[in-house]
Chain A
Amino acid sequence: GQNIDQPTEMTATEGAIVQINCTYQTSGFNGLFWYQQHAGEAPTFLSYNVLDGLEEKGRFSSFLSRSKGYSYLLLKELQMKDSASYLCAVRDGDYKLSFGAGTTVTVRA
């Protein structure tokens, strides 16, 4: 199975940068995903890492280190609409996705 840890809550100011860390222990690894979920809505895909390194997509970047079982999601130039829950998920060798409990990010004006 998977053991996925991420902080429960983070607060930041509009325009700032926030980094959400995720550590995982897995019996098989086939990629790491980040999803965004606004309250009362379904999760939506943000990023995917399968090789070590940084993937950049506009204001969002995601980093992976497979040897350390570690990833982070970097949110730059924070906007009020970025207030949401961010879910770290690990795909195993059978293509099943296991999720962390999620990090609730609150952006203050």
Chain B
Amino acid sequence: IAGITQAPTSQILAAGRRMTLRCTQDMRHNAMYWYRQDLGLGLRLIHYSNTAGTTGKGEVPDGYSVSRANTDDFPLTLASAVPSQTSVYFCASSDRENGELFFGEGSRLTVL
């Protein structure tokens, strides 16, 4: 049982580089989300997608982009990484009707 798979698990990145965090789910959930988690700030929503082909901005979207070409995949791209994007990134999915979020194991990103 896979659920949600994120890659990479951990990455150190030089500032200015482009980076894509991958997220795949096998539960056929309609909705998918990207959160970042920082100490003292909790989980903050970056971008979301309610269904394949649509995306929306969350609370902290600047510097990030997403795409949702199909139901299973929801990659998050940092076009030009900055140190303030150092964080733990969680991908999540949910069935829209139920609403319970299922989380991936997280991707720890360090931007130097």
Contact = CB atoms under 8 A, between A and B. Distances in A.
Interface of A: 1, 30-31, 33, 35, 41-45, 48, 87, 89, 91, 94-102
Contacts of B96: 95
15 contacts: A1-B59, A42-B106, A43-B101, A45-B100, A45-B102, A94-B56, A95-B50, A96-B45, A98-B59, A99-B35, A99-B42, A99-B43, A100-B42, A101-B41, A101-B42
Interface in B58-80: 58-59
Contacts of B53: none
Contacts, number: 56
Interface residues of B, number: 25
Contacts of A101: 40-42
B45 A98 contact: yes
Interface of B: 31, 33, 35, 40-45, 48, 50, 56, 58-59, 90, 94, 96, 99-106
A91 B105 CA distance: 22
B17 to A, nearest CB: 25
A33 B42 contact: no
